[in-house]
Amino acid sequence: MPRALTLGNGKMLVCLDEFGFVRDFYYPYVGLENHVAGHKHRIGVSVNNAFSWLNDGSWEISIGYKPESMVGYLVCKSSKLNITLVMEDSVYNEKDVFLRQVDVYNHSDEYVDVKIFFHQIFHISESKKRNTAFYDPTHNSVVHYKGRRVFIVNGQTENGSGIDDYTVGAFEYEGKEGSFRDAEDSVLTQNAVEHGSVDSVVRFSTSCANKSKSRVYYWIAVGKSLEDAYELNNLVVSKTPKAMLHSTESYWNAWLNTREFDTDSLPPEQKKLFDTSLFVLRSHTDNRGSIIASGDSEMIEYGKDDYSYMWPRDAAFIATTLDKAGYHEATKEFFLFCKDVMHPDGYLHHRYRSDESLGSTWHSTTSQGEWLKDKILQLPIQEDETAGVLFALWNHYEKSKDLEFIEFLYKPLIEKMGRFLISFRDKDTGLPLASYDLWEEKIGVSTYTCASTYGGLMAAAKFSELLDKRNHMRDYKKAANEIKKAMTDNLFSPSLDAFVRIGYYKQEGFVRDEIVDSSSLFGLWYFGMFDQDDPLFQKTYQATRERLWNPTEIGGFIRYEHDNYFRSTNKSNPWFITTLWEAQMKLSKTTVTAEDLQFASDTFAWVTKHVFSSGVLAEQLNPYTGESLSSTPLVWSHAVYVETMLLYLEKKQQYDLQSQDVSEATHTL
């Protein structure tokens, strides 16, 4: 199930599904460790002893973010119980506390007794073994713990009363479904302790007069010891959850509005998605530098793993967007992270965990079981990830003008990466050596990798020129231009009349894979390798339009011909990223036309038409139904939306000013 909302503070990330159930709970890093890992933290309601879970099909539910704040807003209406629940959720911006406010609206003409049940399952440190849960009467709370991870579950009604019933039990052990079943008669058995694979349920009781409302607060305080967690629990009680929710909402509102975005002229749904996207980007950014691809643990790629890692590529694009939006303080740590994890030889590995350790990988050290030319082993990397970070760092400098930061990074990062990109090349062709492509599927030399390497080397040259290291500058430029020529000679297909997706070093020479890929076109212009009026660029553009547009009513661009990733129909799935790329390309021209601006506006309308129900963007869509597929939300999708929108707003302002000048000049004549 997709994640409808992501809430975080740079250290803790909580993901909710469309019912408001907690499904992922990351701590002490964004992306690591996931202590819920997809299990449901159910919410149940009893009205005059008639019980219902929010996901039993009897509720009308809408979910999204409150306007201009990283606070969840959930409206759940039950005609069966004749009530509405309005929930506001947040991760406290200052401390590691998940907060929930529940307003109960009684629509009946009678006084009703309402009981709200919150269910918890913690597989602490991503394992169901050796967990303990117990009821603590001294704090009237339930505690889940294992080692240095402690979760205190507590809450109160608006009149100050707290948990009035509880139970702890075994979860999915020896045929037991879990103690949540104990709630369905509206009374809990008050079992006080259990260990192993455990869950718990707490109850809060309130009452509502006819046509009135009552309020319940619920929270989970997290620490690395009982003392730390209790201290946070006491903080919530003393500050009050109401004040903490208000403080968090105000903080994120200020965070958004301290930057000036000319979004008021946009259609409301596009402005809403712009704001939501920035919150998705920030919630997935750890304060210590990691930026994960998605907190959605439900999406298991290749049946083995999820997206809760830092890919240097995705993170570089996300950091670029945050820098362009003005959030330099959030991106600086990312580049320091890359400096720390970079291999001594100057390259970045496939992906990393948020604590700077290596992430899992499926990249092998040989090319399809064969030795490369001259018996050089294949590095298990994607070279574009190293190059892309250099390119993103230049964007960071352009936006921040932090020269001291660049001077600090030059020797340990910029020079090492630049030297690696120069040396990691075939001595005969001048092309990069083989590595995995952008989509992590094929080992070879892709057009995108060549283009990103060109961009990375040109960025290194700019840094060298900035710091008056002229010899380095010349070396980087020379290598970049050699790669451009070699790519033109080897990766442009006369039969396709376009640059191909990838080519391979074979015994008989360099062989092209005759497939058109949207990333090839993107790389050509994004990294500054080709002008858009270049004939080879124009030919590649035409081939991309003809071969990769999804012809159904849903529309959108697919990644490449015959893409089977998450494919369940006879057509490949369109992606938000690849569809936004064309709008971004048109807006990246020196001079844009009214038609370019309209095309971008139409693309934004297409994106907002296909958002998930809560307003977040998936990775890809079903080509016939538009259903969100794969990781949801995908942070990269949101990053490209924001980056393209910022460019649109800039170019529209320029166009309007130029049009005004022309109009005034004509009037004067």
Q: Is the dihedral of CA 521, 527, 528, 529 positive or negative?
A: negative
Which residues form the domain of 112? 5-238
CA atoms within 13 A on the CB side of 607: 36
Going through 394-524 in order, the beta strands assigned E by DSSP cover 435-436, 443-446, 492-493, 498-499, 502-506, 509-513
Q: Are residues 31 and 170 in the same domain?
A: yes
Q: Are residues 569 and 535 in the same domain?
A: no
Q: Are residues 324 and 451 in the same domain?
A: yes
Q: Does 251 map to a domain?
A: no
Encode pLDDT of 537-556 as tens digits: 999 999 999 999 999 999 99
Q: Report d(CA 154, CA 151) in Å as an integer.
A: 10
Helix (H) / strand (E) containing 582? helix 576-587
Encode pLDDT of 172-211 as tens digits: 877 788 999 999 999 999 999 999 999 999 999 999 999 8
Q: Does 130 map to a domain?
A: yes
CB 128 within 8 A of CB 35: no
Q: Are residues 206 and 322 in the same domain?
A: no
Nearest partner of 30 among 272, 319, 275, 288, judged by Cα? 288
What is residue 651's three-state secondary structure?
A: helix
Q: Report d(CA 400, CA 332) in Å as an integer.
A: 10
CA angle 71, 74, 80 (to 5 degrees): 165
Q: Report d(CA 641, CA 276) in Å as an integer.
A: 11
Q: Are residues 473 and 495 in the same domain?
A: yes
Q: Is 75 exposed, middle or buried (0-12, 13-18, 19+ CB in 10 A)?
A: middle
Say what the pLDDT of residue 93 is: 97
Q: Are residues 89 and 173 in the same domain?
A: yes
Nearest partner of 459 among 480, 486, 438, judged by Cα? 480
Q: Are residues 60 and 170 in the same domain?
A: yes
Q: Does 245 map to a domain?
A: no
Close Cβ partners of 255 (under 8 Å, ≥ 6 residues apart): 282
Q: Are residues 498 and 601 in the same domain?
A: no
Q: Are residues 510 and 575 in the same domain?
A: no
Count Cβ neighbours within 10 Å for each residue of 261-277 and write b for 16 or more, e otherwise: beeeebeeebbbbbbbb
The residue from 548, 571, 603 where one domain ends is 548
Please provide the DSSP assignment of 265-308 as one string: TS-HHHHHHHHHHHHHHHHTB-TTS-B-S---TT--BTTTB-S-
Q: Report d(CA 546, CA 30) in Å as an integer.
A: 41
Encode pLDDT of 472-526 as tens digits: 999 999 999 999 999 999 999 999 999 999 999 998 889 999 999 999 999 999 9
CB 492 within 8 A of CB 499: yes
Q: How many domains does the chain have?
A: 3
Mean pLDDT on 230-256: 97
Q: Does 243 map to a domain?
A: no
Q: Does 427 map to a domain?
A: yes
The residue from 516, 548, 580 where one domain ends is 548
What's the alpha-carbon Rg for the chain, to the nearest Å?
Answer: 27
Predicted confidence band of residue 372 (pLDDT cuts 50, 70, 90): very low
Say what the pLDDT of residue 260 is: 86
Encode pLDDT of 547-593 as tens digits: 999 999 999 999 999 999 999 999 999 999 999 999 999 999 999 99
Q: Which long-range contacts (CB under 8 A, 24 or more apart) does 250-257 make?
A: 250/69, 251/93, 252/68, 252/69, 252/70, 252/71, 252/93, 252/279, 253/68, 253/69, 255/282, 256/68, 256/69, 257/68
Whole-number Cα distances in Å, 465 to 254, 410, 413, 461: 38, 12, 16, 6
Q: Are residues 142 and 231 in the same domain?
A: yes
CATH of the domain at 420: 1.50.10.10
CB 88 within 8 A of CB 187: no
Say what the pLDDT of residue 378 is: 75
Give 305-354 as a 3 state SS string. ECCCCECHHHHHHHHHHHHHHCCHHHHHHHHHHHHHHCCCCCCCCCCECC
CA angle 552, 554, 555 (to 5 degrees): 75
Q: Are residues 666 and 532 in the same domain?
A: no
Mean pLDDT on 262-290: 97
Close Cβ partners of 223 (under 8 Å, ≥ 6 residues apart): 96, 150, 152, 229, 230, 231, 232
Q: Does 96 map to a domain?
A: yes
Nearest partner of 505 among 423, 419, 446, 449, judged by Cα? 446
> Could you give the percent of the chain with pLDDT greater than 70?
96
What is residue 370's three-state secondary structure?
A: strand
The residue from 523, 548, 573 where one domain ends is 548
Question: How big is the chain, counted in residues?
Answer: 669
Q: Report d(CA 8, CA 298) in Å as an integer.
A: 18
CATH of the domain at 57: 2.70.98.10
Q: Does 54 map to a domain?
A: yes
Cα torsion through 339, 345, 350, 353, rounded to 10: -40
Encode pLDDT of 610-631 as tens digits: 999 999 999 999 999 999 999 9
CB 125 within 8 A of CB 140: no
Close Cβ partners of 604 (under 8 Å, ≥ 6 residues apart): 266, 270, 583, 641, 644, 645, 648
Q: Are residues 535 and 564 in the same domain?
A: no
Whole-number Cα distances in Å, 320 to 8, 317, 388, 394: 20, 5, 10, 9
Q: Which two tokens stand for residue 413?
A: 């990062």
Q: Does 473 map to a domain?
A: yes
